A and B are shown apart, each in its own frame.
Chain A
Amino acid sequence: MSLLDIAELSAGYGGNTILDGVSLTAERGDIVSLIGPSGSGKSTLLRVLIGLTPPTGGTVRIDGAAVDYADSAALKALRRRMSIVFQQFNLFQNMTALDNLTLAPVRTLGVARAEAEARGCDLLAKVGLADKAGAYPAQLSGGQQQRVAIARALAMQPEILLLDEVTSALDPERVGEVLDTIRTLAETGITMLLVSHEMGFVREISTKVVMMDAGRVVEAGPPASIFESPRETRTRSFMQAIIRH
């Protein structure tokens, strides 16, 4: 049984179909990369998975159990197992880095404040920001903010981590530090679904690559086959367009 099993998932905004029957699976410890042109529905897929955008059809199973996205208790349970990091970090502007990390564990997991703070400090150290615990987001660089955001997602101890273009909003020289953080994370065995345009990185880190276009999965497979011998012409033209850069 797969840890995450997405079957025929659809979603849309006000009558427009954005996801048109997406199916894919991830085993425990898999690192699944979503690639594809802008507007193909990658972000929407992650938003549906975490329950920010309601699905219009299909099922999502975790350990074989279907998730009921209309039920707020089920959503709450889901968000204990799955967490997301956004392209724009979405750190709480009114809180220090450490407070960003401790708020949810204290309020939703019932962790004692002292324990949450200790764990928070550990996590900040892991992403290389031990000295920034008391800093507000506005005082951090984009790369630092994104690492705090990753630490915040990890503070919930999720089994599945969703990462949506986490390096796209960063200065080029800051991209490396965030990719390093994700690399270290990958070694811990956490399951990840990540959207990225850093093709070298995708190829290096992924156990599985999923090519999306127009709300559908074009093809999926190990990185070597997708990058070296794509079956679909759409995948090939996308690769060429990217490499030509």
Chain B
Amino acid sequence: MNGAAEFFTTDTAAFLAGALGRTLWMTLLGCTLGFLLGGVLALVRRTRQPLLAPARLLAGLYVETFRRLPFLVILILVLFSVQAVAPGLSLLGIATIAVTLAATAYLAEIIRAGLDAVPRPQVEGAEVLGLSALDRLRFVVLPQAWGVILPPAAAFMVMFVKDTALASHLGVVELAFAGKILVNKGFSPTLGFGAVLVLYALVSWPLGRAAAHLEKKLVAPRHR
């Protein structure tokens, strides 16, 4: 069995750093795309035109479905269905799509709650001034909703750093899988998984603090 001396080498460090990079990449890209798509879904669900009723229904169905599927199941389904559309896509790309699909559903709910938190009279005040729906959103609703949306959205993203560990099942060499590979090479499981655990904490803890700080700053009263 390999000992601790062989573990703490630049090789291992580089290997773990690459894996950490993939973990962050999946989270960052997936959640950013998820935020944009989730925003679209949230807006679709807020429309009131009768013509858009089917779109509202589909958006609602999407959100409800993907919040009730284990991320592992989403990963497996995406692996075997998305590659039919793009067989050349890397496993990392496939995992990122899975993150995006899940994040879209959760972030759509967060964004919807944020938009709903803007009091109705604010919207009516803009409406009677003749502002278009887009202007109402841009100048009145969104500026007031940000403070409600961003903190939980940031917290969600920090949480998802950890959930991407399941992508190890696809064979994406992210942090959790990197730990497994090291252990399979003969390093002690305590050492291999312990190091990975510490790395996750080193990323997640400051990010979580930043998200909490953001919450304090944004939710504070609006006096400037």
Contacts and interface: CB of A to CB of B under 8 A. Distances in A.
A/B contact in complex, CB under 8 angstroms: yes
Interface of A: 50-52, 75-76, 79-80, 83-84, 86, 88, 90-95, 103-104, 107-108, 136, 138-139, 152, 156
B129 interface: yes
A92 B128 contact: no
Nearest to A76: B130
Interface string B206-224: 0000000000000001111
Given A93-B144, A136-B222, A138-B223, A104 B130 contact: yes
Contacts of A50: 128
A52 B144 contact: no
B131 interface: yes
A84 B124 CA distance: 10
Contacts of B122: 90, 92-93
Contacts of B127: 51-52
Interface in B100-157: 121-122, 124-132, 135, 139-140, 143-144
A83 B128 CA distance: 7
A150 B186 CA distance: 76
B164 to A, nearest CB: 35
A156 B130 contact: yes
Contact of A156 (B129, B140, B144): B129
A75 to B, nearest CB: 8
A90 B131 contact: no
Given A103-B139, A107-B139, A93 B222 contact: yes
Given A136-B223, A138-B222, A90 B121 contact: yes
Interface centre among A75, A76, A93, A138 (most CB of B within 10 A): A93
Nearest to B140: A92
A162 B222 CA distance: 29
Nearest to B133: A72
Contacts of B132: 107-108
Those 7 A-B pairs whose CB atoms lie nearest each other, nearest first: A90-B125, A104-B129, A79-B130, A94-B143, A108-B130, A90-B121, A94-B144
A138 B126 CA distance: 18
Contacts of B144: 92-94
Contacts of A94: 140, 143-144, 222
A88 B125 CA distance: 10
A17 B131 CA distance: 29
A138 B140 CA distance: 15
Given A50-B128, A52-B124, 20 more contacts: A51-B127, A52-B128, A75-B130, A76-B130, A79-B128, A80-B130, A90-B121, A90-B125, A92-B122, A92-B125, A92-B144, A94-B144, A94-B222, A103-B126, A104-B126, A107-B132, A107-B139, A108-B131, A136-B224, A156-B129
